[in-house]
Amino acid sequence: MRLILAEDSVLLREGLSRLLIEAGFDVVATAGDGEEAVRLVEECKPDVAVLDIRMPPSHTDEGLQAAHEIRRSHPEVGVLVLSQYEGTEGIGYMLKDRVSDVAELADAVRRVGSGGCVVDPLVVGRLLGRKRPEQALDRLSEREREVLALMAEGRSNHSIAERLFMSEKTVESHVRSIFTKLDLIPSGDDHRRVLAVLRYLRADPAE
């Protein structure tokens, strides 16, 4: 499986690259920012792009913007986002903390190899539990939040149905409701799934 890796820290970038190579992946190129990552996807045609969320110039959500652009222009490319969000209590949840577990990292990469977008479920769970001012995400019911959390793990409707002990038809209904409540206009369900997750993760709880 061919990968590109985008991470602005040279030390971490080299370490991740080595781990991925040792796990049997072909790291065809590395980038230091989101714009370069998007360009390398166009040039190298990888199977998966592994992106850090926070990269230059602002170190806020450049990785998410790059993920969005990659999924828009190259839907066949899987996207694995290395997440780092600090809560109001100063607690960070990040996939980076767990990349030393090569088996877990390799499994995450393989799961997105089919073209999905996976964000660390610990991050999703943390953010879903936060108290935020009224916004589009607060329109979601508790069950819809559970479905969104599993969507963020890259799970299919069939997998979500098995996990939540409901029919696929019911899951489809919840997913459609999520799209509606997040004001995501019809543009292909796969694309809207990614947008729903990115919309959620880009929400600033401090606003």
Domain harbouring 53, CATH code? 3.40.50.2300
Residue ranges in the chain assigned as alpha helix (H): 10-22, 34-44, 62-73, 102-112, 121-128, 142-152, 157-164, 168-181, 189-202
pLDDT at 144: 92
Domain co-membership, 11 together with 36: yes
Higher model confidence: residue 69 or residue 115? Answer: 69
Domain co-membership, 10 together with 97: yes
Q: Is residue 6 assigned to a domain?
A: yes
Task: Please state the domain count of the chain.
Answer: 2
Lowest mean pLDDT of 11-25, 113-127, 130-144, 185-199, name the range: 113-127
pLDDT at 109: 81
Lowest mean pLDDT of 74-78, 101-105, 177-181, name the range: 101-105
Distance set, CA 5 to CA 14, 44, 48, 102, 104 (Å) = 10, 12, 9, 16, 17
pLDDT > 90? residue 164? yes
Domain co-membership, 115 together with 132: no
Query: What's the whole-number average pLDDT of the chain?
Result: 77
CATH number for position 165? 1.10.10.10
Domain co-membership, 95 together with 135: no
Domain boundary among 97, 119, 141: 119
Share of the chain above pLDDT 90, in %: 25
Structural contact between residues 48 and 3, judged by C-beta atoms closer than 8 angstroms: yes
Q: Is residue 207 assigned to a domain?
A: no
Q: Which two tokens stand for residue 183?
A: 């004001």
Higher model confidence: residue 135 or residue 21? Answer: 21
Domain co-membership, 115 together with 133: no
Domain co-membership, 130 together with 106: no
> Residue 67 carries which side chain, given as an amino acid letter?
A
The residue whose two tokens read 């652009």 is 69
pLDDT > 60? residue 206? no
Domain co-membership, 114 together with 74: yes
pLDDT > 50? residue 47? yes
Domain boundary among 85, 119, 153: 119
Structural contact between residues 88 and 165, judged by C-beta atoms closer than 8 angstroms: no
Domain boundary among 119, 140, 165: 119
Can you give the residue range of the structural domain that contains 114? Answer: 2-119
Partners of residue 183 on adjacent β-strands: none
Domain co-membership, 17 together with 47: yes
Model pTM score: 0.59
pLDDT at 90: 29
Enumerate residues 6+ apart whose C-beta is below 8 A from 1.
24, 25, 26, 47, 48, 109, 110, 113
